[in-house]
Structure formats: structure tokens, C-alpha cells
Amino acid sequence: MEKLPSLQFYPGDWRKDPGVQALSYEERGIWIEMLFLMHECEPRGKLILNGRPMPPERLANLLSLPQEKINKTINTLLELGVARLCQETGAIMNRRMVRDEEMRHKRSAAGQAGGGNPAFSKGKPNPYYKPEDKQKINTIINTEDKQKIKSSSSSSSSSSSSDKEEDTNVSSCAEPSGFARAEMQTNDRSPSRKKKKTEDLPTQALALATKLKDSMLTNTPGTIAPTVPALRQWAADVEKLHRLDGKTWEQIEWLLAWSQHDPFWRANILSGAKFRQKWNQLLAQASKEQPKLSAPLTDEEIAQGTEWSRLKERDRHGH
């Protein structure tokens, strides 16, 4: 395989990918190292070792990390859709790197086929030229020419009879009505809006949705983990609490942690939508059971962190 001294990296895609932004800094560093290894593998873009998918224990040895950490990171990468499994080999792969490699091979093959390549000296035959290829090209061109001639002849014969009809309809067809314009604009705009909402999810919302998932799996072993689209929907519901309901990220994090420590609520809060729906009931019960913790946090307390364990320790000592 040809050795390439560099790989293409797209900072914009890296920063905009919600799956990547949901990773911790340590997980991002491991993913970067995995990308470097994929760049050296054959085929490029897939984590292959000696023609087979690279085992996690070998990857752990290459990165000098514990195997448990590698296993957890791989599961997170697959869960968030950052990495994919190759259907043919079962190896971990990066779709963008695989596509770039395929495109590089196609361009290389096209360049070797000649057609104005300055590498060929004038007056010398193209070493890649084959007479049968020229015959195939001529056949395709002749077929296309016949189709164009047939299409133009049929259109010219009907043009004279349709001229009057076009004149009578030109005023009505020149511009759609106001209702039609509004409908066309709505149809053109809706897909891009949906896509934008998915891409613009803040990192805090994604992190809190991931924290809810981790708490569910810890509290109830055997629980089926949410899919990546479902996890993003959880993050969207959490983001509505902040953007539409006016809750701060610190308030959301605190009440989410409380709900997952309460025996009753942790069995009922199983999604971002349910968490938002039951916000008032959760806050009322949390304030009743933990009056000191329900008080507004100072700027200093927020800067020190708002994890449940720290708040509970503050309540125990009466600070």
C-alpha cells in the first residue's frame, strides 16, 4: 500500500459533530490516536491488523492504556455514532477516511488513463490507450446523439400546436400564488431546519443526556441503552429546559442528579422528555426533602461544581 505522509483533517466537521463534542477530552484523545492508526492500516480508514480486525487488547497495548478504558471508549464511540463497524470485516472504521481513500483511488485511476496528462510526451502514443475503449465511447456518443435528435424532432412537431396554449397560460404560470409560494418555501425550508436543530445541540445538553443514560445503566443493570438518535432527542429535550423554560445548566444538573438518587423517581425518569415533563413535581419534592439544597447557589459554589455528592456533604455539615 502506498504510504501517505499526511492525512486530511477537517476542523469544522470535528467542532460541529455533536457526537465528538459529547466525548470527554480523554476520549477525544484516544479517538485521535485511533485515527492515526487507521491512516497506517490497510485498507486505510479501518482498524486492521494483519488482515483482521484489531483486537481491543492489541489497541490497548499500542496506546499504552488499560484494556477496560479502551473497551469503554470504543463502546462510547460506537454509541454516539463517531465510529462505525465495517459490515464486511467487523473492524472499527472512520467513514470520512474510507470515502476519501476511495476518491483518491478513483482520481488516481482517472489520471493514469491519460486524456491530456502532461506526463505523456507529444508524438508518443498513450500507453493506456485501448482500441476497444474508443469503440465503446463512440457507441455511447452515437446513442446519445440519436436520443437528442429524436427528442428535438418530437418537441418541434408539437411546438406549433402548443404556442397558442402557452400564450394563454403564460400569465397564470408566470408566478405562483401567495399560498403556493408560502407552501413551496415551507417545504424547502423544513429539512434544513431539522438538520440545523440536530447539529446545534449544545455540549451541556449532550453531556447531561449522557449522564442520564449512565445513571440508568448503573441503577438498573440490564437496562437497554438508548440508540444514538434517541440520546440526541434526550439532549434536545434537556436543551428546551434551558432555552424555553429558563432553567440554568446548574439547576438542570442538580435536579437530574437528585432524581437519579431518589428510589421512586429514578425508576420513572427514563428519558429527557419525562424529565422535562416532571420538572415541577421533582423540584417540589426535592425542595421538601432537601430544603438547604434547594436554595440558589452562589457564584463561588457554582464555580466549585454542583455534583450531588458535594451538595449532600454541604447539607450534612450545615454549611
Residue-wise pLDDT for 223-248, tens only, equals 888 999 999 999 999 999 999 999 99
* Least-confidence region, from 85-94, 102-111, 213-222: 102-111
Q: Is residue 293 part of a domain?
A: yes
The total number of structural domains in the chain stands at 2
pLDDT score of 42: 80
Residue at 304 is within a domain? yes
Which residue carries 475503449 as its cell? 133
Segment 27-49, tens digit of pLDDT: 999 988 998 888 888 888 788 88
Domain that holds residue 38: 11-103
**pLDDT tier at 158, thresholds 50, 70, 90:** low
Domain boundary pick from 103, 135, 163:
103
Q: What is the pLDDT of residue 95?
A: 83
Percent of the chain with pLDDT over 70: 63
Query: What was the pLDDT predicted at 182?
Result: 43
pLDDT for residue 177: 47
- In tens, the pLDDT along 75-101 reads 999 888 888 888 888 889 888 888 887
Out of 45, 70, 103, a domain closes at: 103
Residue 210 in this model has a pLDDT that exceeds 90? yes
What integer best gives the mean pLDDT of the chain? Answer: 75
**CATH, residue 28:** 1.10.10
pLDDT average, residue stretch 250-257? 91
Q: Could you give the CA distance from residue 252 to residue 255 in angstroms, rounded to a whole number?
A: 5
The answer as to whether 79 is a domain residue is yes
User: Does 179 map to a domain?
Assistant: no
Q: Determine, yes or no, domain membership for 194.
A: no
Q: What is the pLDDT of residue 312?
A: 47
Q: Which amino acid is at 45?
A: G
Q: Is residue 184 included in any domain, yes or no?
A: no
pLDDT of residue 233: 94
pTM: 0.36
Mean pLDDT calculated for residue range 209-233: 90
* Three cell numbers, residue 29: 484523545
Query: Is residue 44 assigned to a domain?
Result: yes
**In the listed set 59, 77, 103, which residue is the last one of a domain according to the structure?**
103
Confirm whether 190 is domain-assigned. Answer: no
- Average confidence (pLDDT) over 143-170: 56
